[in-house]
Amino acid sequence: MDYNTNRKKLELPEYGRNVQNMVGIIKNTPDRAERNRLAKSTVQLMENMNPQLRDVADYKHKLWDHLAVIADFDLDIDSPYPLPTQAEIHQKPMKMKYSNPDEIRFKHYGKILEDMVRKATQYPEGEERNALIATIANQMKKSFLTWNRETVSDDVIFADLLAIACNRISIPEGLKLKDSRELLRQQAMASTGAAANNSKKHKGKKQQAKKKQKHAAAK
């Protein structure tokens, strides 16, 4: 018996044994023009087997890369894209730098908002800077109310904003933030809308399931 355990390992199992065998035929074909023709046909077959790849940007390039991987990077053809090397495919991604939670002074506002405040300190004095400060302050108030449903005064938000900015900005004169009750109302509406949307999706899935059951029973 010819068991899969005794066969060569599949480089990309999602394409199956037949595609890998076809790539082996391409590699052993002496005529270059014929190799190119077979490679194009194989890539077309790979695309038909995985139509979901069409939703990926530059999916054609990805298919030719997959062909090179299946061929163990030993494929002498005229590819429409530069074929990758083994080192390029298997290189380790750069290590991501994660923020230390202890570096965030006000955790209920989040790291991104603190970065926005620091960015605002780099803006020159003027209307654009004042508009950015107002936007940030209103977002801070909204974030504050997410964790503390009680009302919060603008002075508390301004004090926190100045603390994050290390007093390198000034609060625009006469700045008044959105009313706490209005922000809470908006949050409640958004939450209700999301719940209703989820309920609609769930109901739609149940109806589709029932239709499939009826269709199967009719057969």
Span 93-133, pLDDT tens digits: 888 776 666 677 788 888 889 899 999 999 998 999 999 99
**How confident is the model over 182-212, as pLDDT tens digits?**
888 887 887 776 666 766 666 666 666 566 5
pTM of the full structure: 0.45
pLDDT higher for 77 or 2?
A: 77
Q: What's the confidence (pLDDT) of residue 140?
A: 92
Q: What's the confidence (pLDDT) of residue 195?
A: 63
Question: How far, in Å, are 201, 202, 206 from residue 214 at the CA level?
Answer: 20, 19, 12
Residue 215 scores a pLDDT above 60: no
**How confident is the model over 142-182, as pLDDT tens digits?**
888 887 767 788 999 999 999 999 999 999 999 999 888 88
Q: Decide: 10 and 17 in contact? Cβ < 8 Å.
A: yes
94: tokens are 């750069």
